[in-house]
Structure 1
Amino acid sequence: MELPEIKIVNVVGSCDLKTPMNLEEIYPLIENAEYDPERYHCIYIRTPGIKRLVTIFKSGKLNTAGSKSIEEAKSAVLDVVNKLTELGFTDKKPEVKIYNLVANMGLKKEFDLEELSEHFGAEYEPEQFPGAVLKIENPKATFLIFKSGKIVINGVKSNEELENAVKWILEKLKS
Protein backbone atom coordinates (compact mmCIF):
# COMPACT_ATOMS: atom_id res chain seq x y z
CA MET A 1 0.00 0.00 0.00
CA GLU A 2 1.48 3.33 -1.05
CA LEU A 3 1.18 5.95 1.65
CA PRO A 4 0.22 9.55 0.90
CA GLU A 5 2.69 12.30 1.78
CA ILE A 6 2.81 12.55 5.56
CA LYS A 7 4.16 15.78 6.98
CA ILE A 8 5.36 15.93 10.59
CA VAL A 9 4.51 19.39 11.92
CA ASN A 10 5.42 19.10 15.61
CA VAL A 11 7.47 16.81 17.83
CA VAL A 12 7.25 17.08 21.64
CA GLY A 13 9.94 15.57 23.81
CA SER A 14 11.81 15.97 27.09
CA CYS A 15 14.62 14.80 29.30
CA ASP A 16 15.44 15.06 32.99
CA LEU A 17 18.91 16.04 34.16
CA LYS A 18 17.87 15.13 37.74
CA THR A 19 19.87 18.17 38.85
CA PRO A 20 18.35 21.44 40.08
CA MET A 21 19.12 24.34 37.76
CA ASN A 22 19.81 27.91 38.85
CA LEU A 23 17.90 29.72 36.10
CA GLU A 24 19.13 33.17 37.16
CA GLU A 25 22.75 32.05 36.64
CA ILE A 26 22.09 30.13 33.44
CA TYR A 27 19.91 32.67 31.61
CA PRO A 28 22.57 35.29 30.73
CA LEU A 29 24.94 32.59 29.47
CA ILE A 30 22.58 30.99 26.93
CA GLU A 31 22.19 32.51 23.47
CA ASN A 32 18.61 33.28 22.29
CA ALA A 33 17.21 32.70 25.79
CA GLU A 34 14.19 34.44 27.32
CA TYR A 35 13.60 34.47 31.05
CA ASP A 36 11.00 36.47 32.94
CA PRO A 37 10.41 34.77 36.31
CA GLU A 38 7.32 36.90 36.96
CA ARG A 39 5.64 35.56 33.80
CA TYR A 40 6.93 31.96 33.55
CA HIS A 41 9.05 29.63 35.64
CA CYS A 42 11.49 28.47 32.99
CA ILE A 43 14.01 29.65 30.44
CA TYR A 44 12.74 29.64 26.85
CA ILE A 45 15.33 29.09 24.13
CA ARG A 46 14.23 29.86 20.58
CA THR A 47 16.43 29.40 17.54
CA PRO A 48 15.95 32.37 15.18
CA GLY A 49 14.08 31.43 12.01
CA ILE A 50 12.91 28.08 13.44
CA LYS A 51 9.63 27.55 15.27
CA ARG A 52 11.26 25.22 17.77
CA LEU A 53 11.42 25.85 21.49
CA VAL A 54 13.49 24.29 24.27
CA THR A 55 12.61 25.07 27.89
CA ILE A 56 14.76 24.61 30.99
CA PHE A 57 13.00 24.25 34.35
CA LYS A 58 14.47 24.69 37.85
CA SER A 59 13.93 20.97 38.45
CA GLY A 60 16.42 20.10 35.71
CA LYS A 61 13.77 19.02 33.23
CA LEU A 62 14.06 20.18 29.64
CA ASN A 63 11.19 20.13 27.14
CA THR A 64 11.07 20.75 23.44
CA ALA A 65 8.27 21.45 20.98
CA GLY A 66 8.05 22.61 17.40
CA SER A 67 10.59 20.34 15.71
CA LYS A 68 9.73 18.74 12.37
CA SER A 69 11.45 15.40 13.10
CA ILE A 70 12.39 13.19 16.02
CA GLU A 71 16.07 13.68 15.23
CA GLU A 72 15.69 17.47 15.25
CA ALA A 73 13.84 17.38 18.60
CA LYS A 74 16.49 15.19 20.22
CA SER A 75 19.29 17.28 18.77
CA ALA A 76 17.71 20.52 20.05
CA VAL A 77 17.54 19.22 23.62
CA LEU A 78 21.00 17.64 23.53
CA ASP A 79 22.51 20.87 22.17
CA VAL A 80 21.18 22.67 25.27
CA VAL A 81 22.39 19.85 27.55
CA ASN A 82 25.85 20.11 25.94
CA LYS A 83 25.86 23.88 26.53
CA LEU A 84 24.86 23.34 30.19
CA THR A 85 27.68 20.76 30.50
CA GLU A 86 30.17 23.15 28.89
CA LEU A 87 29.12 25.86 31.38
CA GLY A 88 29.52 23.45 34.34
CA PHE A 89 25.84 23.14 35.33
CA THR A 90 25.56 19.38 34.71
CA ASP A 91 27.56 16.32 33.77
CA LYS A 92 24.54 14.17 32.91
CA LYS A 93 23.84 12.72 29.44
CA PRO A 94 20.11 12.00 29.63
CA GLU A 95 17.95 10.13 27.15
CA VAL A 96 15.52 12.36 25.30
CA LYS A 97 12.04 10.81 25.28
CA ILE A 98 9.50 11.63 22.60
CA TYR A 99 5.95 12.07 23.89
CA ASN A 100 3.98 13.16 20.86
CA LEU A 101 4.24 13.51 17.11
CA VAL A 102 1.73 15.63 15.22
CA ALA A 103 1.49 15.00 11.49
CA ASN A 104 -0.94 15.69 8.69
CA MET A 105 -1.78 14.28 5.32
CA GLY A 106 -4.25 15.04 2.61
CA LEU A 107 -6.33 12.48 0.80
CA LYS A 108 -7.77 13.39 -2.56
CA LYS A 109 -11.37 12.77 -1.50
CA GLU A 110 -14.02 14.38 0.63
CA PHE A 111 -15.56 12.69 3.65
CA ASP A 112 -19.11 12.56 4.92
CA LEU A 113 -18.28 13.14 8.57
CA GLU A 114 -21.76 12.12 9.81
CA GLU A 115 -21.39 8.76 8.09
CA LEU A 116 -17.80 8.40 9.27
CA SER A 117 -18.79 9.04 12.88
CA GLU A 118 -21.58 6.45 12.70
CA HIS A 119 -19.42 3.85 10.96
CA PHE A 120 -16.29 4.20 13.14
CA GLY A 121 -17.65 5.64 16.36
CA ALA A 122 -15.77 8.91 15.83
CA GLU A 123 -16.92 11.98 17.73
CA TYR A 124 -18.43 14.59 15.46
CA GLU A 125 -19.98 17.75 16.89
CA PRO A 126 -19.95 20.27 13.99
CA GLU A 127 -21.16 23.08 16.29
CA GLN A 128 -18.02 22.66 18.41
CA PHE A 129 -15.35 21.47 15.94
CA PRO A 130 -15.37 21.13 12.14
CA GLY A 131 -13.76 17.67 12.07
CA ALA A 132 -14.46 14.16 13.31
CA VAL A 133 -12.26 12.93 16.15
CA LEU A 134 -11.34 9.25 16.06
CA LYS A 135 -9.23 7.66 18.80
CA ILE A 136 -7.65 4.23 18.52
CA GLU A 137 -5.63 2.14 20.96
CA ASN A 138 -3.29 0.10 18.76
CA PRO A 139 -1.30 2.04 17.85
CA LYS A 140 -2.44 4.70 20.31
CA ALA A 141 -3.37 7.64 18.10
CA THR A 142 -5.96 10.34 17.57
CA PHE A 143 -7.14 11.35 14.11
CA LEU A 144 -8.82 14.65 13.29
CA ILE A 145 -10.61 14.01 10.02
CA PHE A 146 -11.96 16.91 7.99
CA LYS A 147 -14.52 16.94 5.20
CA SER A 148 -11.85 18.23 2.79
CA GLY A 149 -9.86 14.99 3.12
CA LYS A 150 -7.23 16.48 5.40
CA ILE A 151 -6.30 14.27 8.37
CA VAL A 152 -4.25 15.30 11.39
CA ILE A 153 -2.65 12.46 13.38
CA ASN A 154 -1.34 12.93 16.90
CA GLY A 155 -0.53 10.95 20.01
CA VAL A 156 2.03 8.64 18.37
CA LYS A 157 5.57 8.52 19.75
CA SER A 158 7.67 7.22 16.86
CA ASN A 159 7.88 7.22 13.09
CA GLU A 160 6.91 3.53 13.14
CA GLU A 161 3.76 4.23 15.20
CA LEU A 162 2.92 7.09 12.82
CA GLU A 163 3.26 4.84 9.79
CA ASN A 164 1.17 2.10 11.44
CA ALA A 165 -1.54 4.62 12.38
CA VAL A 166 -1.65 5.93 8.80
CA LYS A 167 -1.87 2.40 7.41
CA TRP A 168 -4.68 1.62 9.88
CA ILE A 169 -6.78 4.68 8.96
CA LEU A 170 -6.24 4.18 5.20
CA GLU A 171 -7.35 0.56 5.46
CA LYS A 172 -10.47 1.56 7.43
CA LEU A 173 -11.35 4.40 5.05
CA LYS A 174 -11.02 2.06 2.05
CA SER A 175 -13.72 -0.27 3.34
Structure 2
Amino acid sequence: MPLATAEDVAARIGRPVLADEQPRINAFLRDVTGLIEDYCGRDMARRTNQLITLYAEGGCVLTVPARYQTFLTVAGVLEDGQEVTGWTFNGRELIREAGWGESAVTLTASWGYEVVPDSITALACSEVIRWLALTPGVGRERVGEVEVEFSAPSSAQTLSPATRTSLTPYRRSRLGSLTLRREGPSLSVRGWPA
Protein backbone atom coordinates (compact mmCIF):
# COMPACT_ATOMS: atom_id res chain seq x y z
CA MET A 1 0.00 0.00 0.00
CA PRO A 2 1.54 3.36 -1.02
CA LEU A 3 2.38 6.03 1.55
CA ALA A 4 0.28 8.59 -0.35
CA THR A 5 -2.48 8.64 -2.96
CA ALA A 6 -2.92 10.31 -6.34
CA GLU A 7 -5.40 12.62 -4.58
CA ASP A 8 -2.63 13.66 -2.15
CA VAL A 9 -0.42 14.53 -5.13
CA ALA A 10 -3.29 16.42 -6.83
CA ALA A 11 -3.88 18.49 -3.70
CA ARG A 12 -0.23 19.53 -3.68
CA ILE A 13 0.00 20.41 -7.39
CA GLY A 14 -3.26 22.36 -7.22
CA ARG A 15 -5.16 20.62 -10.00
CA PRO A 16 -6.90 17.30 -10.61
CA VAL A 17 -4.79 14.43 -11.90
CA LEU A 18 -5.59 13.77 -15.54
CA ALA A 19 -6.66 10.27 -16.59
CA ASP A 20 -3.50 9.75 -18.65
CA GLU A 21 -1.31 10.82 -15.68
CA GLN A 22 -2.95 8.43 -13.21
CA PRO A 23 -0.98 5.24 -14.11
CA ARG A 24 2.36 7.07 -13.99
CA ILE A 25 1.58 8.75 -10.65
CA ASN A 26 0.39 5.44 -9.14
CA ALA A 27 3.61 3.75 -10.31
CA PHE A 28 5.72 6.58 -8.85
CA LEU A 29 3.82 6.32 -5.54
CA ARG A 30 4.62 2.59 -5.33
CA ASP A 31 8.25 3.31 -6.25
CA VAL A 32 8.70 6.07 -3.68
CA THR A 33 7.04 3.91 -1.01
CA GLY A 34 9.57 1.16 -1.65
CA LEU A 35 12.49 3.59 -1.65
CA ILE A 36 11.38 5.25 1.61
CA GLU A 37 10.77 1.94 3.35
CA ASP A 38 14.11 0.55 2.18
CA TYR A 39 15.97 3.72 3.21
CA CYS A 40 14.33 3.71 6.65
CA GLY A 41 14.78 -0.05 7.10
CA ARG A 42 11.17 -0.58 8.11
CA ASP A 43 7.73 -0.99 6.59
CA MET A 44 5.67 2.16 7.10
CA ALA A 45 2.32 1.37 5.47
CA ARG A 46 0.05 -0.93 7.50
CA ARG A 47 0.10 -4.62 6.61
CA THR A 48 -2.71 -6.61 8.21
CA ASN A 49 -2.74 -10.34 8.98
CA GLN A 50 0.30 -11.09 6.84
CA LEU A 51 2.58 -14.10 7.20
CA ILE A 52 6.21 -13.70 8.28
CA THR A 53 8.41 -16.80 8.14
CA LEU A 54 11.43 -16.87 10.44
CA TYR A 55 13.98 -19.62 10.79
CA ALA A 56 14.71 -20.61 14.36
CA GLU A 57 18.15 -21.86 15.33
CA GLY A 58 17.28 -23.23 18.75
CA GLY A 59 17.09 -21.33 22.00
CA CYS A 60 14.20 -19.61 23.72
CA VAL A 61 14.36 -16.27 21.87
CA LEU A 62 13.39 -15.65 18.25
CA THR A 63 14.11 -12.11 17.04
CA VAL A 64 11.73 -10.50 14.55
CA PRO A 65 13.60 -8.47 11.87
CA ALA A 66 13.54 -4.71 12.48
CA ARG A 67 11.70 -4.13 9.18
CA TYR A 68 8.51 -5.56 10.74
CA GLN A 69 8.76 -4.07 14.24
CA THR A 70 6.80 -0.82 13.66
CA PHE A 71 3.65 -1.30 15.77
CA LEU A 72 3.92 -5.06 15.32
CA THR A 73 1.17 -7.27 16.75
CA VAL A 74 1.32 -11.06 16.53
CA ALA A 75 -1.99 -12.92 16.25
CA GLY A 76 -0.68 -16.47 15.93
CA VAL A 77 2.45 -18.61 15.66
CA LEU A 78 3.01 -21.85 13.75
CA GLU A 79 6.10 -24.04 13.98
CA ASP A 80 6.42 -26.60 11.18
CA GLY A 81 2.74 -25.96 10.40
CA GLN A 82 1.55 -26.69 13.96
CA GLU A 83 0.06 -24.03 16.23
CA VAL A 84 2.39 -22.99 19.04
CA THR A 85 1.29 -21.91 22.51
CA GLY A 86 3.23 -20.67 25.49
CA TRP A 87 5.00 -17.79 23.73
CA THR A 88 5.20 -14.13 24.65
CA PHE A 89 6.09 -11.16 22.49
CA ASN A 90 8.02 -8.16 23.85
CA GLY A 91 7.85 -5.95 20.76
CA ARG A 92 11.04 -7.29 19.17
CA GLU A 93 11.31 -10.96 20.11
CA LEU A 94 9.16 -14.03 20.56
CA ILE A 95 10.08 -15.80 23.77
CA ARG A 96 9.16 -19.39 24.48
CA GLU A 97 10.38 -21.20 27.57
CA ALA A 98 10.14 -24.57 25.80
CA GLY A 99 12.48 -23.29 23.06
CA TRP A 100 12.02 -22.97 19.33
CA GLY A 101 13.95 -25.90 17.94
CA GLU A 102 15.53 -25.53 14.52
CA SER A 103 12.65 -25.12 12.13
CA ALA A 104 10.50 -22.60 10.26
CA VAL A 105 8.31 -20.43 12.47
CA THR A 106 5.44 -18.60 10.74
CA LEU A 107 3.82 -15.59 12.36
CA THR A 108 0.43 -14.17 11.49
CA ALA A 109 1.06 -10.52 12.20
CA SER A 110 0.13 -6.91 11.49
CA TRP A 111 2.63 -4.06 11.42
CA GLY A 112 3.22 -0.53 10.16
CA TYR A 113 1.47 2.76 10.91
CA GLU A 114 -2.33 2.64 11.13
CA VAL A 115 -2.27 6.17 9.72
CA VAL A 116 0.87 7.19 7.84
CA PRO A 117 2.41 10.29 9.47
CA ASP A 118 1.64 13.48 7.54
CA SER A 119 5.34 14.25 7.17
CA ILE A 120 5.95 10.95 5.34
CA THR A 121 2.95 11.53 3.07
CA ALA A 122 4.30 15.01 2.27
CA LEU A 123 7.76 13.60 1.49
CA ALA A 124 6.30 10.89 -0.76
CA CYS A 125 4.24 13.48 -2.65
CA SER A 126 7.17 15.88 -3.03
CA GLU A 127 9.31 13.12 -4.54
CA VAL A 128 6.56 12.13 -6.99
CA ILE A 129 6.07 15.76 -8.02
CA ARG A 130 9.83 16.15 -8.49
CA TRP A 131 9.94 13.00 -10.65
CA LEU A 132 6.97 14.20 -12.73
CA ALA A 133 8.78 17.47 -13.44
CA LEU A 134 11.88 15.75 -14.81
CA THR A 135 12.17 14.90 -18.47
CA PRO A 136 13.36 11.30 -18.92
CA GLY A 137 17.10 11.30 -19.52
CA VAL A 138 17.55 14.79 -18.04
CA GLY A 139 19.11 14.88 -14.60
CA ARG A 140 19.04 18.63 -14.08
CA GLU A 141 17.81 21.73 -15.90
CA ARG A 142 18.65 25.39 -15.37
CA VAL A 143 16.79 28.29 -16.98
CA GLY A 144 19.26 31.18 -16.57
CA GLU A 145 21.85 30.78 -19.35
CA VAL A 146 20.06 27.53 -20.39
CA GLU A 147 21.86 24.52 -18.98
CA VAL A 148 20.73 20.90 -19.30
CA GLU A 149 22.54 17.98 -17.68
CA PHE A 150 21.77 14.55 -19.11
CA SER A 151 21.85 11.35 -17.10
CA ALA A 152 20.66 7.77 -17.22
CA PRO A 153 16.83 7.63 -17.37
CA SER A 154 16.39 5.83 -14.06
CA SER A 155 18.84 7.90 -12.03
CA ALA A 156 16.23 10.61 -11.35
CA GLN A 157 14.11 8.14 -9.42
CA THR A 158 16.05 8.26 -6.20
CA LEU A 159 15.33 9.99 -2.94
CA SER A 160 16.61 13.54 -2.89
CA PRO A 161 19.14 14.58 -0.23
CA ALA A 162 16.45 16.78 1.39
CA THR A 163 14.08 13.81 1.67
CA ARG A 164 16.80 11.60 3.14
CA THR A 165 17.53 14.24 5.77
CA SER A 166 13.83 14.59 6.58
CA LEU A 167 13.50 10.81 7.02
CA THR A 168 16.22 10.69 9.71
CA PRO A 169 13.75 10.41 12.64
CA TYR A 170 12.09 7.39 10.98
CA ARG A 171 15.27 5.60 10.04
CA ARG A 172 16.34 2.54 11.99
CA SER A 173 19.88 2.85 13.22
CA ARG A 174 22.03 -0.01 12.06
CA LEU A 175 24.42 0.22 14.97
CA GLY A 176 23.89 0.12 18.68
CA SER A 177 25.41 2.61 21.04
CA LEU A 178 28.61 2.10 22.93
CA THR A 179 29.53 3.83 26.15
CA LEU A 180 33.23 4.50 26.53
CA ARG A 181 34.84 4.98 29.90
CA ARG A 182 38.42 5.98 30.47
CA GLU A 183 40.35 4.10 33.10
CA GLY A 184 42.28 6.16 35.57
CA PRO A 185 41.50 9.09 37.83
CA SER A 186 38.38 11.17 37.29
CA LEU A 187 39.13 14.55 35.78
CA SER A 188 37.42 17.86 36.41
CA VAL A 189 36.13 20.10 33.62
CA ARG A 190 39.58 21.70 33.36
CA GLY A 191 41.30 18.32 33.03
CA TRP A 192 42.74 18.29 36.55
CA PRO A 193 42.38 15.26 38.82
CA ALA A 194 39.12 15.53 40.77
TM-score (normalizing by structure 2): 0.26
Query: Whose radius of gyration is greater, 1 or 2?
Result: 2
TM-score (normalizing by structure 1): 0.28
